[in-house]
Every structure is written in structure tokens, then in C-alpha cells.
Amino acid sequence: MLKAVLFDIDNTLILYDEARFLQSYFPMLAARFKDIIPADRFADKLMQATLVMHQNDGSMTNRERFLGAFCQGADWSRDDIWSRFENFYLEDWDKLKNAVKIPDHAREVFGDISRKGLKIVIATNPIFPLVAQIKKLEWAGLGDIDAALVTNIDNMSFCKPQLGYFQQICGIIGEKPQGCLMVGDDPANDMVAAKIGMKTYQTVDSLDHQEIPLEISREVIGKNTEGIPSADFKGPLACVPQAVDILLK
């Protein structure tokens, strides 16, 4: 019996061209570190630390893993470094809002699921602090939803596409994988949840967006696309309630 519906955010609840988004994101964030990291080196340093975080093994939070890699070899205060990141997401992150579009009927989808008494989980890759994840939900007009869990850099110790990420979510919300539906656009990062027994729904709303995979994505995912079962359901975000109804029968 279905108990929880998990939603990715990027190119599921908000739609955007990843490469173009990052062309704005990197310089804005780099400005917060210009006194300690040359701008032409910042993106590489950030990406390498993010790659290390993607390999987290559950032994520490993603924030701890990220800061350890980001600060390695430098005499920096981790508190100062993290404060710079947090201040960026508090003060500058919203400047990127205009780069995203919203799929049709997102609020109706969440309203329908809530009325059915199912748990809602925002299962987006936990590489950002909570404030950044909440702001993304606000961009989608979903900042007020009642979620059982919003995965973020502080409450998770795995990243997508590791199966440990999905298992950790199940442990936190107290549900078995077989009682969960994972909704997302990405076969490697989202549909991989089928490997632990979750049902899957692949959204198609982002297909008209130019998506150029990042080097880090290819390096992290590697061969993890092999052996991933086809999605149980496939369609626009607006049709998720129909899949939920089928699973509740």
C-alpha cells in the first residue's frame, strides 16, 4: 500500500537549463569568496568538493563531507566558509528565480496527495542547505506545503544516485521502500530508487529544455544507469495523482 510520495525538485518541480543556470550561479557565489579564492579557480574547487560529497558513505553529514573537501589544504575556518555559503543562499539565491519555469498544476498535485493522507517528501539531491531547498520550493509556489522531510546537506549523509540516500529517507519517515513512489525526471538519479523496491514516476515536463549533463554528473553517475528498471509510470507532473490512485487500489 502506498504511504509516501517523494518528489525531486530540479527539472521536476522547477524547470530550467542546467548549464545556463550555472553560468549565472557560479560567478554570483564566487563573489562571496573573492578575498580568499581567485574567481577563475572557484568553480573547479566547488565542483571537486561537491564530487567528494557525492561519494559520502553515511559516516557523516553531507555538510561535514563537503566542508572537509572544500577546506582541505587551506587555513580557513569552516564556520566562516559555511557562513559565506549560507549568506549567499539567504541574500542572493532568489536572483536566479527568473531562470526557472514551473510545470502545470503543481499545487493541485500536492493538494491531491495531501488530501489522500499520504506523506510528502521533497527528495531533491541534498547538496544545498535547507534555506536553498525551501527557496526553490517557493519559486515553484510550494513553499507552504506540509512535507514530512526536505532532504538537504545537513540532514542527509548520502547523495543521489546512491541507494543509501533512498534507504536513509525510508528510515527517517518510517516507511518501507515498497510503500513509496519516487517522482523525478532523471533515470539515473531518481528512477534508480526502483532498485530498493520503490515505485517510480518519470516526469517529462523538462524535455523541451536544453540539458547539457555536467562533467561532475557523468563522473558521479558512471555506470549507475545500467540495470535501472524502466519507470512504472511516465508523464507530466500533472498526472502524478492518476498514478497515485492506481497504487492505492
pLDDT along the chain (249 residues), means of 10: 97 91 94 95 95 96 98 94 98 96 96 97 98 97 97 97 96 98 93 96 78 50 68 97 97
Q: How far apart are CA 247 and CA 241, in angstroms?
A: 10
pLDDT at 20: 86
Burial label for 237, CB within 10 Å (0-12, 13-18, 19+), is buried
Work out the end-to-end distance of the chain between its first and last CA atoms, rounded to an integer number of angstroms.
8
Q: Residue 234: helix, strand or coil by DSSP?
A: strand
Half-sphere exposure of 234 (CA within 13 A, CB side): 10
- Alpha helices of 55-174 — where are they, by DSSP H? 62-70, 78-91, 106-115, 130-139, 163-173
Q: How far apart are CA 19 and CA 107, in angstroms?
A: 27
Pairing of strands 149-150, 4-7: unpaired
Is the Cβ–Cβ distance between 159 and 62 less than 8 Å? yes
Q: How far apart are CA 170 and CA 164, in angstroms?
A: 10
pLDDT at 227: 79
CA angle 213, 216, 218 (to 5 degrees): 55
pLDDT at 221: 55
pLDDT at 130: 98
